[in-house]
């Protein structure tokens, strides 16, 4: 088959693999193309191994679709940091079909460990293909110093991002948001506190909002300034949002007089075409709730001579982006000024605003993906839970390592499974099987005659008694 046919062949398997872990199909397909020379490599043809997966990977302590014994031996190129290539003979995994190769590859990237951390930490749920490729390269998957560029080139040449659709975000596509720090340098000093500048506050807040939004799946965040010192024309900042779902410019408001303690309302100044009214009102109400302002948050649509009165909103509208300015109360109000000067408050505010935006666009929170199961290293066996934690210094009711039933296991303070004879607090002897295989580590207790038995099973509680 030619290159396009190979991509079409790989695509259904790569998209189905997200049921095991959310890794971009575009990256999976591109890796298969690169590693197998579009399905023509010796390893792909004779071992159905399209990712160059070696027999020994990260101690083989991660759940795998490989049978653990089928290997294919061949020479492979390895590059050092200077780009020098040498050929070494290595054992590679042999699969019954390419689908098993894809599943195994996904499980490896999601579950392989490096010490106490995931080898490819941050990969699962990452929706930037370049960032994903960099994580894979940095994790040690490939020695080729140009690996990331090669992966990205394949993705871009064949438009492989068309396969990166997960049913998340607006329209089943990535949601893109442009955040604007409303002022640069040292601008708009508060009459209530000379240490407060609106430009300082919005710079901090826009970075915090970006951080919290990036905790969600299916979103890409861009900003309008490279640093706080950079000025940029109002219209151009709005127009920078071309292709985005939302443009939001962050501010704090001011009254004409030096101080006005009676005014503290949050407001969203939304595009006059009303495209941002709904999200604008949600955000204004969010600011009201978090800052506990006396006055209610609301929206306004302000027309000018050439469309929207505000230049940033006018620029966003010109490129088809719903745009708004979000005013975070007034820095001519003493209480609001003091509140906005607290970095902890800004953190809470950004987190709350990110949650409102995520809810509006149907975004779901990223979760670090761990595949629960048994793992072993040079010390012994241990068990990782779905949340990444592991039982330590305790009993745990777990699926046995190599069989189909459940049993009680005891772990030491470091989290390693114990074996051998022990005595319970009530004086009973119990035994944790030392024989490798299906019963290893399984709890056994002494019966009334002192003979070892599998720990008693309580049919009501549906657990073994220890």
Residue 340 contacts residue 346 (beta carbons within 8 Å): yes
For position 453, what pLDDT does the model report?
62
What tens digit of pLDDT does each residue of 234-253 get?
999 999 999 899 999 999 99
Residue 26 confidence (pLDDT) above 80 = yes
| Residues contacting 138, CB < 8 A, separation 6+ | none
CATH architecture of the domain covering 3-163: Orthogonal Bundle (1.10)
All CATH 1.10.530.10 domain ranges of the chain, comma separated, are: 3-163
Distance (Å, whole) CA 339 – CA 353: 16
For position 257, what pLDDT does the model report?
74
Q: Percentage helix, strand, coil, to 5, in the chain?
A: 30, 25, 45
Residue 79 confidence (pLDDT) above 80 = no
Distance (Å, whole) CA 298 – CA 311: 20
Instruction: Estimate the crossing angle of helix 3-16 against helix 25-36, to 10 degrees.
Output: 140
What tens digit of pLDDT does each residue of 264-302 get?
999 999 999 999 999 999 999 999 999 999 999 999 999
Indicate the range of 9-13, 48-52, 57-61, 202-206 predicted with least confidence.
57-61
Residue 170 confidence (pLDDT) above 90 = no
Return the top range by mean pLDDT from 76-90, 133-147, 423-437. Answer: 133-147
All CATH 3.40.630.40 domain ranges of the chain, comma separated, are: 170-361
Mean pLDDT of 311-329: 95
For position 183, what pLDDT does the model report?
95
For the record, the structure tokens of 48 come out as 């159905």
E strand or H helix that includes residue 432 = strand 429-432
For position 86, what pLDDT does the model report?
77
For position 22, what pLDDT does the model report?
78
- Please state, in angstroms and as integers, the Cα–Cα distance from residue 331 to each residue in 222, 250, 347, following that order: 27, 13, 18
CATH code assigned to 170-361: 3.40.630.40
Burial bucket for residue 387 (CB in 10 Å: 0-12, 13-18, 19+): exposed
Q: How many CA atoms lie less than 13 Å away from 30 in the CB half-sphere? A: 28
What tens digit of pLDDT does each residue of 342-395 get?
999 999 999 999 999 999 988 877 765 566 788 877 778 888 887 667 888 888
Burial bucket for residue 329 (CB in 10 Å: 0-12, 13-18, 19+): buried
Backbone angles phi, psi at 263, to 5 degrees: -115, 125
Burial bucket for residue 465 (CB in 10 Å: 0-12, 13-18, 19+): exposed
Indicate the range of 59-63, 108-112, 352-356 predicted with least confidence.
59-63
All CATH 2.10.270.10 domain ranges of the chain, comma separated, are: 373-464
What tens digit of pLDDT does each residue of 397-415 get?
887 665 566 778 888 887 8
For the record, the structure tokens of 439 come out as 């019963």
The class (CATH top level) of 373-464 is: mainly beta
Distance (Å, whole) CA 335 – CA 62: 54
Mean pLDDT of 46-68: 89
What tens digit of pLDDT does each residue of 418-458 get?
888 877 666 666 778 887 766 777 777 666 666 666 665 55
For position 62, what pLDDT does the model report?
80
Residue 262 confidence (pLDDT) above 50 = yes
For position 178, what pLDDT does the model report?
96
Taking the alpha carbons at both ends of the chain, their separation in whole angstroms is: 60
Instruction: Please indicate, yes or no, whether the overall pTM of this predicted structure exceeds 0.75.
Output: no
């Amino acid at each position: 088959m030619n290159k396009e046919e190979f991509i079409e062949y790989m695509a259904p398997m790569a998209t189905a693999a997200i049921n095991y872990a959310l890794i971009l199909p575009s990256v999976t397909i591109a890796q298969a193309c690169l590693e197998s020379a579009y399905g023509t490599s010796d390893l792909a043809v004779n071992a159905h191994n399209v990712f160059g997966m070696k027999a020994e990977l990260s101690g083989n302590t991660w759940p795998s679709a490989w049978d653990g014994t089928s290997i294919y031996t061949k020479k492979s190129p390895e590059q050092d940091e200077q780009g020098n290539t040498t050929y070494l003979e290595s054992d590679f995994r042999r699969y019954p079909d390419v689908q098993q190769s894809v599943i195994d590859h996904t499980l490896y990237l999601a579950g392989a460990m490096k010490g106490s951390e995931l080898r490819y930490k941050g990969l699962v749920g990452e929706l930037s293909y370049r960032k994903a490729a960099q994580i894979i390269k940095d994790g040690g998957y490939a020695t080729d110093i140009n690996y990331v560029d090669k992966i990205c080139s394949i993705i871009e040449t064949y438009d492989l991002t068309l396969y990166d659709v997960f049913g998340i975000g607006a329209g089943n596509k990535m949601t893109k948001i442009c955040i604007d720090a409303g002022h640069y340098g040292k601008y708009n000093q508060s009459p209530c506190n000379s240490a407060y500048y609106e430009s300082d506050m919005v710079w901090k807040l826009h970075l915090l909002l970006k951080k919290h939004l990036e905790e969600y799946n299916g979103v890409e965040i861009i900003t309008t300034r490279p640093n706080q010192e950079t000025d940029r024309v109002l219209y151009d900042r709005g127009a920078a949002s071309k292709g985005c779902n939302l443009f939001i410019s962050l501010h704090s408001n001011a009254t004409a007089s030096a101080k006005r303690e009676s005014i503290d309302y949050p407001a969203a100044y939304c595009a006059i075409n009303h495209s941002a009214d709904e999200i604008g009102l949600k955000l204004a109400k969010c600011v009201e709730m978090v800052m506990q302002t006396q006055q209610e948050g609301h929206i306004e649509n302000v027309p000018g001579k050439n469309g929207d009165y505000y230049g940033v909103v006018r620029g966003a509208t010109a490129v088809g982006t719903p745009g708004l300015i979000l005013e975070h109360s007034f820095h001519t109000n003493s209480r609001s000024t003091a509140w906005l000067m607290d970095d902890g408050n800004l953190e809470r505010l950004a987190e709350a605003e990110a949650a409102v935006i995520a809810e509006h666009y149907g975004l779901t929170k990223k979760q670090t993906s761990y595949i629960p199961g048994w793992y072993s290293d040079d010390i012994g066996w241990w068990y990782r839970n779905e949340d990444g934690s592991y039982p330590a210094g305790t009993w745990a009711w777990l699926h046995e390592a190599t069989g189909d039933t459940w049993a009680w296991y005891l772990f030491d303070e470091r989290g390693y499974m114990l074996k051998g004879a022990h005595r319970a607090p009530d004086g009973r002897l119990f035994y944790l099987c030392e024989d490798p295989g299906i019963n290893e580590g399984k709890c056994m207790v002494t019966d009334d005659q002192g003979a070892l038995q599998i720990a008693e099973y309580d049919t009501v509680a549906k657990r073994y008694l220890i």
